[in-house]
Amino acid sequence: MFSRQRFVRALGCSAVAILFSTLGKAQMKNIAERLGYPADAKLLIIHADDLAVARSVDRASFAALDQKAVSSASIMVPCPWLTEVAEYAKAHPDADLGLHLTLTSEWDPYKWGPVAPRDQVPSLLDPNGYFWADNSPVAKNGKPEEVEREIRAQVERALAMGIHPTHLDTHMGTLAARPDFYAALIKVAHEYHLPFMAVRSTDPQLAPMMKMLTPHDIALDSVAVFNPSIPASEWTQSYVKMLQGLGPGLHEIIVHLGYDDAELQAITVDHPDYGAAWRERDFKAVTSPEFKKALEDNHIILIGWKDLEKLL
């Protein structure tokens, strides 16, 4: 069974955890040149997760998008603040907003459930009628046809609200929990002509999913999130070090933005990882002068999923 912990694996003592390993240089050369950059360019998507989960997350993410501190973000369609995100999307048609396809509801006691009718996706629900709290019960109980039904419903809900997604990715890595779940992601992405979260890997458990990719699918060289072992005092500097170590290729850094306010503190109570303080530190890091200087000093080119979407 594929756990969230396996999906996010540490990279030594660096600032990040690498989700997947390196892709061959040949594909990167094609992507870089097709985007009009040198073959050895360092291309980076700075991506904000979890829009719609809380107003605090929305406000911080909108601010970062407006400041171009992040180049992409993704939306949790089942979550309560979707209407606010839809209004932002309509007012900012150039914003790079994808869908953070969601099959888990991890906060306690703050919960959400499916977009599809509950009686059509019963395998995805806990005894209280909400999504399961973690990947393991989803992988154990989920039926692939119900996974496909739910993620398709999330795409359709976004479109109906005037959101035109630039890509599809997966909240907590749930759609990588089983090959048949990942096949549903690929099927839906292809039908809507959208790029999706794909990164080459040598992990034997991920190999079946990587074999599903077609020559037209775009794969990232690496995806990284913050390493929880880094002290708060070294938060921004750890991101700077990560940028300094970035090599040629197509990369993504996933950040989780928010303000350390009463709303987000209540939602993430007793959960320091990805909690309110964590998210405000992420916001301060990516909007800091040190981070911006590191991007410039290391000749890193920011792109978005919208750029990759054009290659399809």
Give residue limits of the domains in the chain. Answer: 4-310
pLDDT given for residue 205 in this prediction: 78
Please report which helix (H) or strand (E) contains residue 82, including its range.
Answer: helix 82-91
User: Phi and psi (nearest 5°) for 242?
Assistant: -65, -45
pLDDT in tens, the chain (312 residues): 444 444 443 333 344 444 443 344 444 447 999 999 999 999 999 999 999 999 999 999 999 999 999 999 999 999 999 999 999 999 999 999 999 999 999 999 999 999 999 999 999 999 999 999 999 999 999 999 999 999 999 999 999 999 999 999 999 999 999 999 999 999 999 999 999 999 977 778 778 888 999 989 999 999 999 999 999 999 999 999 999 999 999 999 999 999 999 999 999 999 999 999 999 999 999 999 999 999 999 999 999 999 999 998
pLDDT given for residue 262 in this prediction: 98
pLDDT given for residue 203 in this prediction: 79
Identify the residue whose tokens are 């739910």: 150
pLDDT given for residue 207 in this prediction: 83
* Distance of alpha carbon 131 from alpha carbon 83, whole angstroms: 20
Residue in 80, 59, 82 with CA at minimum distance from that of residue 283: 59
* 221 CB-near residues (< 8 Å, 6+ apart): 22, 23, 28, 199, 200, 249, 250, 251
Please report which helix (H) or strand (E) contains residue 46, including its range.
Answer: strand 42-51
pLDDT given for residue 55 in this prediction: 98
Write down the architecture of domain 4-310 according to CATH. Alpha-Beta Barrel (3.20)
- For the chain, the first-to-last Cα distance in angstroms comes to 32
pLDDT given for residue 1 in this prediction: 41
